[in-house]
């Protein structure tokens, strides 16, 4: 027996020839990475991410950035994908979804096997020089930080190295423009684990003709969505995948 809303979502997915997924921090809480806004567990309750992860702190108070914000970024590196990431990777392989657009920087979609992933808030694999643009492994920044080189400097031009993560005050990377263009042409967008509060990503659902939301808490788009499923991403996406597999 499956829930009515899961059934409705499956019907919508079956009818669509161009389905995309937009994910947020909530999809990774079951992998042990706290999101921003969940009551009691969200990072917002412990630190102010707007301060810990801001370009102004990175440039003006690098010691503070490397003590708090950078540690938070590194803490994601050992996490493993959960059932939700794996279900989405399977759905891509089966041709059910075309791409995952993620606000996350934890690399878990790629670890689960998703091939087409747009990282609209950057990633925690690399850093780059703010002067010459040279890319380096984020581990280089970690090593330099451990050796007391704060801020870490580029070996080629001595410019400041920074993580390739979008921080408060930064522009979004090219992946966001690509996401904007593909959402414009999609038939269905499935939003998973995002409160949809951070602009401009929060505008993407407005451009999709049909929207399914899978989220534990409320989102800013619930009242406009076609189907809203309140539940844990791992459980709901596994149910949806099981249902869709019956049809194949």
Residue 85 as a binder of ligand NAD (CB under 6 A): the answer is no
Q: 87 or 129: whose CB is closer to ligand NAD?
A: 87
**Site map 197..236 versus ligand NAD, x via CB under 6 A:** xx----------------xxx--------------xx---
Please give the Cα distance from 9 to 223 (Å, whole number): 16
Beta strands in the chain (DSSP E): 19-23, 99-102, 117-119, 122-129, 135-137, 161-165, 188-192, 211-214, 227-229
Binds ligand NAD by CB under 6 A, chosen from 19, 29, 54, 90? 29
| Cα of 51 vs its chain's centroid, Å | 20
Residues 6+ apart with CB under 8 A from 23: 88, 100, 101, 102, 103, 104, 109, 191, 192, 193, 194
Residue 74 as a binder of ligand NAD (CB under 6 A): the answer is no
Q: 85 or 98: whose CB is closer to ligand NAD?
A: 85
State the nearest-atom distance from the C-beta of 67 to ligand NAD, in Å. Answer: 18
Q: Which stretch binds ligand NAD (CB under 6 A): 153-161, 168-176, 179-187, 188-196?
A: 188-196
Residue 106 as a binder of ligand NAD (CB under 6 A): the answer is yes
Binds ligand NAD by CB under 6 A, chosen from 89, 193, 204, 225? 193
State the nearest-atom distance from the C-beta of 190 to ligand NAD, in Å. Answer: 12
Please give the Cα distance from 97 to 163 (Å, whole number): 30
Asked if 35 and 45 touch (Cβ cutoff 8 Å), the reply is no
Crossing angle between the packed helical segments 83-93 and 233-247, to the nearest 10 degrees: 30
Task: Summarize as ranges the residues that interact with ligand NAD (CB under 6 A).
Answer: 24-26, 28-30, 33, 35-38, 42-43, 76, 103-106, 121, 193-195, 197-198, 215-217, 232-233
Which of the residues are catalytic?
A: 121
């Amino acid at each position: 027996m499956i829930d009515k809303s899961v059934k409705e979502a499956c019907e919508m997915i079956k009818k669509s020839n161009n389905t995309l997924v937009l994910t947020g921090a909530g999809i990774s809480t079951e992998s042990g990475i706290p999101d921003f806004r969940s009551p009691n567990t969200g990072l917002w309750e412990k630190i102010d991410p707007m301060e810990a992860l801001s370009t102004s702190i990175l440039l003006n108070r690098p010691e503070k950035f490397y003590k708090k914000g950078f540690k938070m970024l590194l803490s994601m590196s050992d996490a493993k994908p959960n059932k939700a990431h794996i279900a989405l990777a399977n759905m891509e392989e089966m041709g059910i979804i075309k791409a995952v657009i993620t606000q996350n920087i934890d690399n878990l979609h790629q670890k689960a096997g998703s091939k087409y992933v747009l990282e609209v808030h950057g990633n925690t694999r690399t850093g780059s020089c703010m002067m010459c643009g040279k890319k380096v492994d984020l581990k280089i920044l970690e090593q330099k930080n451990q050796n007391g080189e704060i801020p870490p400097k580029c070996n080629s031009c001595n410019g400041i190295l920074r993580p390739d993560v979008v921080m408060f005050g930064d522009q979004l990377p090219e992946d966001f423009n690509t996401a904007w263009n593909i959402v414009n042409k999609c038939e269905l967008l499935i939003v998973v684990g995002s409160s949809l509060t951070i602009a401009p990503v929060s505008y993407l659902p407005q451009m999709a003709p049909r929207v399914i939301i899978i989220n534990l808490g409320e989102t800013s788009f619930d009242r406009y969505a076609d189907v809203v499923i309140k539940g844990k991403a791992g459980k709901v996406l596994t149910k949806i995948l099981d249902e869709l597999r019956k049809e194949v």
